[in-house]
């Protein structure tokens, strides 16, 4: 695309612009290169206008921004836009040729359950014969099934990466794509310009209030996905759903807890090999089995089935697809080990409600003691959940171990003290604090006995651990496997 055509696509004056080829668009000065358009965004710490000379030297051909600061001159053609982040997304979509218009795109949002629901939906679509890609917290996949990772540590990558990945999916022959849509992605326009065929709403609870300020603001950002989709799949068990009804042209509902809904689960049984339940749906009634731990995954399965059905998947295909699902990395992931050793499970759970669900689920299938190891993120993350995490952990587990989890610029001692306070104010002392996560994992597994279950909560599939002054490579499953390799029954 050429610069004049891009400006026209953004409804900007373009007749006087040089007729130069445009290679891409970015808001990161370090990523700018020959032929790029640079979007100057005024952020909390930096103003993109400070980097105009640098991007010119890198070969950028134009700048988009909300207005030059006083005393600043642009060395490149400057196109004024009402919203720089929106312009970044719109330019990325235009330069990629609006790839989402060539796919069925399913978006999944909510506080808990996004990743599992996204992976389940992707699996059901693939099992039904649709070439399907995925963008999730775990990484992204093309239809070849190989899991890849973005270099930036975002729940959802920035708009240029989203659009480039969707174009890559189209080029690879994909029919559909499933995207996790976080509140940050929606608020910061990272997924603006995506044509959503189906939007799935899982559940809403307190999270990311450091960014959104209030739960109402948090809800408002997530609601955008429902407003922009052709069809909404809504959780009838979530009280926030009452405020989502009627926003999309079409909608369908689901319930795993007995509410009136189009898709309902009945006669739910949790067995050692997984879940079984009866489904009542617009496709008829049928028996389903899902080889996953956790009764709460029934709701995720219903949401995924309802979404897949919107794209033409049949009841028979849904049954077969669920039965062949093998789980999500870092989501109730069972760590391989000897049968005589304690069961160790890695899960991304990091909010009080999701931790409560995970521990309640594991309690029902643990004949021995239940251990949980957890931390709480620092930096700008919501500090209000730290004490509740400590309370939940010590109430539902026999032993809790408090440790680090991406403390960033928050003193780790402050985070651990808050989790301890939550336990102590509830009158519980069944916890140990070990600041170093690797040491904490080894200590916990060494003390667990046959029949015990150890839940390693918070990190899941993440491949880094962020400390105050360093970021180190991390593999939670590998750390657990190393501890299990030296485990003996006399470890206590």
- Cα distance between residue 387 and residue 352, in whole Å: 9
Q: For residue 452, say whether it is annotated as part of any ligand binding site.
A: no
For 322-441, strand residue ranges (E) read 333-334, 343-347, 370-374, 399-402, 431-433
Task: Please state the length of the chain.
Answer: 492
Q: How far is CA 357 from the centre of its chain?
A: 18
Question: What is the SS3 string spanning 198-237?
Answer: EEEECCCCCCCHHHHCCHHHHHHHHHHHHHHCCEEEEECC
- Cα distance between residue 43 and residue 237, in whole Å: 37
Token duo for residue 311: 């794209």
User: What are the residues facing 107 on neighbouring strands?
Assistant: 179, 199
Q: For residue 271, say whether it is annotated as part of any ligand binding site.
A: no
Which DSSP letter does residue 472 get? E
Q: For residue 364, say whether it is annotated as part of any ligand binding site.
A: no
* Pair 332, 294: CB distance under 8 Å: yes
Q: For residue 252, say whether it is annotated as part of any ligand binding site.
A: no
Q: For residue 264, say whether it is annotated as part of any ligand binding site.
A: no
- Cα distance between residue 180 and residue 170, in whole Å: 18
**Cβ neighbours of residue 220 closer than 8 Å, sequence gap 6 or more:** none
Q: For residue 126, say whether it is annotated as part of any ligand binding site.
A: no
- C-beta neighbour count of 44 within 10 angstroms: 5
Q: For residue 464, say whether it is annotated as part of any ligand binding site.
A: no
Give residue for tokens 């890695």.
346
Q: For residue 433, say whether it is annotated as part of any ligand binding site.
A: no
- Cα distance between residue 217 and residue 163, in whole Å: 26
Question: What is the SS3 string spanning 328-362?
Answer: ECCECEECCCCCCCCEEEEECCCCHHHHHHHHHHH
Three-state SS at 482: helix
User: What are the residues facing 343 on neighbouring strands?
Assistant: 453
Phi-psi region of 274 (alpha: psi -120 to 50; beta: other; left: phi over 0): left
Q: For residue 491, say whether it is annotated as part of any ligand binding site.
A: no
**CA distances (Å), origin 22, targets 1, 66, 90, 165:** 6, 20, 14, 18
**Which residues are part of a known binding site for ATP?**
110-116
**Which residues are part of a known binding site?**
110-116, 155-156, 182, 190
């Amino acid at each position: 695309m050429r610069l004049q055509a891009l400006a026209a696509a953004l409804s900007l004056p373009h007749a006087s612009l040089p007729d130069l080829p445009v290679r891409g668009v970015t808001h990161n000065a370090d990523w700018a290169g020959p032929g790029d358009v640079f979007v100057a965004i005024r952020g909390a710490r930096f103003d993109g206008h400070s980097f105009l000379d640098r991007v010119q030297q890198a070969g950028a051909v134009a700048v988009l921004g909300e207005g030059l600061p006083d005393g600043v001159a642009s060395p490149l053609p400057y196109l004024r836009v009402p919203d720089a982040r929106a312009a970044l997304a719109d330019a990325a979509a235009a330069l990629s040729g609006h790839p989402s218009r060539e796919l069925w795109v399913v978006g999944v949002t909510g506080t808990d359950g996004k990743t599992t629901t996204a992976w389940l939906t992707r699996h059901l679509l693939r099992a039904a014969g649709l070439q399907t890609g995925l963008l999730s917290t775990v990484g992204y996949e093309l239809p070849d099934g190989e899991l890849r990772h973005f270099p930036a540590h975002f729940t959802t990558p920035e708009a240029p990466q989203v659009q480039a990945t969707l174009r890559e999916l189209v080029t690879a022959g994909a029919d559909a794509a499933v995207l996790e849509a976080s509140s940050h992605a929606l608020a910061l326009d990272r997924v603006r310009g995506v044509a959503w065929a189906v939007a799935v709403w899982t559940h809403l609870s307190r999270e990311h209030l450091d960014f959104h300020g209030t739960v109402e603001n948090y809800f408002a950002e997530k609601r955008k996905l429902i407003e922009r989709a052709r069809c909404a799949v809504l959780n009838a068990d979530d009280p926030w759903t009452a405020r989502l009804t009627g926003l999309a042209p079409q909608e369908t509902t689901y319930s795993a807890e007995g509410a009136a809904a189009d898709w309902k689960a009945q006669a739910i049984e949790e067995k050692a090999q997984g879940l079984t339940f009866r489904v009542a749906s617009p496709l008829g009634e049928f028996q389903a089995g899902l080889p996953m731990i956790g009764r709460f995954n029934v709701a995720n399965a219903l949401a995924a089935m309802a979404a897949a059905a919107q794209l033409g998947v049949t009841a028979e295909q849904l049954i077969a697809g669920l039965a062949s699902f093998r789980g999500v990395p870092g989501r109730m992931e069972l760590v391989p080990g000897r049968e005589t050793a304690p069961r160790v499970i890695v899960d991304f759970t990091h909010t009080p409600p999701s931790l409560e669900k995970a521990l309640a689920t594991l309690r029902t299938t643990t004949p021995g003691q239940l251990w949980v190891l957890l931390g709480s993120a620092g930096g700008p993350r919501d500090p209000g959940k730290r004490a509740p995490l400590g309370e939940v952990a010590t109430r539902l587990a026999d032993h809790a171990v408090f440790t680090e989890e991406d403390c960033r610029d928050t003193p780790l001692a402050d985070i651990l003290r808050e989790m301890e306070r939550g336990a102590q104010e509830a009158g519980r002392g069944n916890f140990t604090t070990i600041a170093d996560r690797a040491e904490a994992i080894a200590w916990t597994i060494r003390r667990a006995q046959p029949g015990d279950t150890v839940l390693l909560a918070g990190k899941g599939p993440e491949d880094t651990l962020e400390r105050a002054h360093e970021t180190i490579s991390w593999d939670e499953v590998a750390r657990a496997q190393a501890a299990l390799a030296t485990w003996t029954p006399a470890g206590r």
